[in-house]
Amino acid sequence: MGKGFKKSDVPKEISSKKPFNPYEVKPKKKTPQSMDPRFDPLCGKFNEDLYRKSFTFINDLKQQELNELKERAKKMKNGEEKEALYQEIRKKTQQREQEQQRLRVREKVQEFRRTQRDLVKQGVNPFYLRRSDITKMKIEDQIQQAKNSGKSATKQLERRNKHLAAKQRKAIPQRRKKHED
């Protein structure tokens, strides 16, 4: 009869001193693989226009939610909660404006590409937009929107230039200061 362990003698942890056997084959546990259709090539290419047309109701729901928040903010009397609601309203309106700006720039890029396709059919060499050109279009759109809304576009440009200058200053390496006693 072999000597068995008493319950109190059984180790609470597995010993780490057991040597590793590289030839031991352990069965792998099958973990369920999640599949994201946005990145799966089996699901086809992503068509942004079709997506936008299919889910236009989401923008309507967002607008409805924004209106409800505005109504609730008007009725609210508590200062802190009211400020939090106004902050949420500002956030949602800014998101909406950014989305609209992105769509306007996208339309301009698509229009440019259409004209380029027509020129290529006539025999002209194609010109492809760089990212810098697209950002210029974006800035032009911001200026145009600022002029349409009555805000000064110069303020926005100054702020942007100041930001870019600060970024450039960070990129330039600073000279090391000599240690003086």
pLDDT at 41: 83
| Encoded tokens for 65 | 């939610």
| Encoded tokens for 107 | 């339309």
Gap between the Cα atoms of 64 and 92, Å rounded: 11
Helix 79-122 vs helix 56-75: crossing angle, to nearest 10 = 150
Q: Which residues contact 88 (CB under 8 A, 6 or more apart)?
A: 69
Q: What is the dihedral of CA 9, 14, 15, 16, to 10 degrees?
A: -170
The ranges assigned to domains in the chain are 47-151
Tens of pLDDT along the chain (181 residues) come to 456 666 666 667 777 787 878 888 888 888 888 888 777 888 888 888 888 899 999 999 999 999 999 999 888 888 888 899 999 999 999 999 999 999 999 999 999 999 999 999 999 998 899 999 999 888 888 888 888 887 777 777 788 889 989 988 888 877 665 665 4
Task: Please tell me the pTM assigned to this model.
Answer: 0.62
Angle at 40 between CA 35 and CA 43, to 5 degrees: 105
| Encoded tokens for 160 | 């942007």
pLDDT at 125: 92
pLDDT at 17: 83
pLDDT at 156: 75
Helices (H), 24-78: 48-54, 56-75
pLDDT at 175: 67
Residues found in the chain: 181
